[in-house]
Amino acid sequence: MARIDDYKESFRLAALELEKRDLSALARSCGAEFSPETGLVVTFLGSRYRVSLNGESKIARVDSGEDVSLPDQILIAHYLLGAGGRKATGNLITFRQVPDGHFYFDAFQRRATEPFVKFFGDKGALFVKCAEALGASPVENGDYGMEFSVFPNIGVQLVLWAGDEEFAAEATILFDESIQWLLPAEDIAVMSGGLVYRLMGLGRKMLSA
């Protein structure tokens, strides 16, 4: 588990690199928005985030006082630095197929796939409802498949095969192959886990309503 000081240093380094970039060109290449008045704004899981690099660098949710976690700020900064105008290819890959994915695969399973199956394995309809609340669209994959636009140039598919008396529920997480040029494996694992835990949080709220 990374320490808070590690997160702070990682974000500091990313912010320093962003300060060297032409933000207008950067916005065009990664599907974000930029103007001298509003600065750089990028969409992440359906919400808009403003990147501030003057003085104390930070990334804040637009029109909200909600704090943005350091891992999310780092992920957003790394996406902006790595997007580089790459477009989706339409070819799907698993996490294992990402360069260095095998090094982080166990952590990826613990952080994303296993919690997803444990929580939604027998709640497919709830998964769909939560996914739709995050702006996801259905795909023809598995018993319940949903595609999420995590960033403008990054889509993620969560696919669930419901369990029964004979077979346990199973799931997979798929990415367009272009993701290997946009984010390193560790960031992809963080992004996937963050998506799953957002869905689980929505699910708990819906179940308790």
> Domain with 175 in it: what CATH number?
3.30.310
Strand, coil or helix: 204 = helix
**Does one domain contain both 60 and 99?**
no
Structure tokens that stand for 186 in this block: 């560790």
CA–CA gap between residue 119 and residue 100 (Å, rounded): 28
CA–CA gap between residue 108 and residue 96 (Å, rounded): 10
59, 82, 105 — which closes off a domain?
Answer: 82
- The mean pLDDT of 179-183, rounded to a whole number, is 92
Classify residue 87: in a domain, yes or no.
no
**Does one domain contain both 56 and 109?**
no
CA–CA gap between residue 111 and residue 81 (Å, rounded): 24
**Does one domain contain both 166 and 134?**
yes
Range of the domain at 24: 4-82
**Does one domain contain both 162 and 182?**
yes
Residue 55, pLDDT > 80, answer no
The more confident residue out of 28 and 131 is 131
Are 203 and 195 in contact by the 8 Å Cβ rule? The answer is no
Mean pLDDT taken over the chain: 92
Classify residue 96: in a domain, yes or no.
yes
**Does one domain contain both 96 and 177?**
yes
Q: Could you give the number of structural domains in the chain?
A: 2
DSSP character at residue 140: S
Structure tokens that stand for 19 in this block: 């300060």
pLDDT at 130: 98
Write the CA distances from 44 to 1, 31, 76, 166, 195, integer angstroms.
Answer: 24, 11, 8, 39, 10
The more confident residue out of 137 and 53 is 137
Query: Which pLDDT band, with edges at 50, 70 and 90, does 4 fall under?
Result: confident
pLDDT at 2: 59
Structure tokens that stand for 55 in this block: 């003085």
82, 112, 139 — which closes off a domain?
Answer: 82
- The mean pLDDT of 149-153, rounded to a whole number, is 93
Tell me which residue has tokens 């808070």.
4
Classify residue 154: in a domain, yes or no.
yes
**Does one domain contain both 67 and 135?**
no
- The mean pLDDT of 15-19, rounded to a whole number, is 92
Residue 111, pLDDT > 70, answer yes
Query: Which pLDDT band, with edges at 50, 70 and 90, does 85 fall under?
Result: low
**Does one domain contain both 49 and 131?**
no
